[in-house]
Amino acid sequence: DIQMTQSPSSLSASVGDRVTITCRASQNINTYLNWYQQTPGKAPQILIHDASMMQGGVPSRFSGSGSGTYFTLTISTLLPEDFATYYCQQCYSYPWTFGQGTKVEIK
């Protein structure tokens, strides 16, 4: 199985900050990488697919980059509604696997 490792596991940030989350795959997954946002008690919601393609309706402050084994999710200017947990997920080969999550908390 492909292992997905996110860092950091949690971070504290302030409204207006720029935040970057990294995700590493245990093998080359090309750009078969998705990012999701999850708030407590809710299902994950897709933000980015194919490593850098924004899902329709997602604010432009979210961006994704990377290929191969190294990927990043950046929030350019953190807003109050962005405090949540973020997961990367590879869809290169089955079983599709998720990272352990990065919780973005209010400083």
By CB under 8 A, name the binding residues for another protein: 32, 34, 36, 43-46, 49-50, 55, 87, 89, 91, 94-101
Q: Given CA atoms 19, 82, 99, 47 in this order, what sign does their dihedral have? A: negative
Task: Give 48 or 75: the residue with its C-beta nearer to another protein.
Answer: 48
Task: Give 32 or 62: the residue with its C-beta nearer to another protein.
Answer: 32
Which of 90, 77, 84 lies closest to 50 in space, CA to CA?
A: 90
Task: Give 83 or 98: the residue with its C-beta nearer to another protein.
Answer: 98
Q: Which neighbouring-strand residues pair with 97?
A: 90
CA distances in angstroms from 56 to 5, 15, 47, 48, 59, listed in the order given: 26, 24, 8, 9, 9
Q: Least distance to another protein from the beta carbon of 16, Å?
A: 28
C-alpha to C-alpha distance for 107 and 97, rounded to whole angstroms: 30
Q: Least distance to another protein from the beta carbon of 88, Å?
A: 9
Q: Least distance to another protein from the beta carbon of 32, Å?
A: 6
CA 44 and chain centroid, separation: 11
Task: Give 5 or 74: the residue with its C-beta nearer to another protein.
Answer: 5
Q: Least distance to another protein from the beta carbon of 93, Å?
A: 11
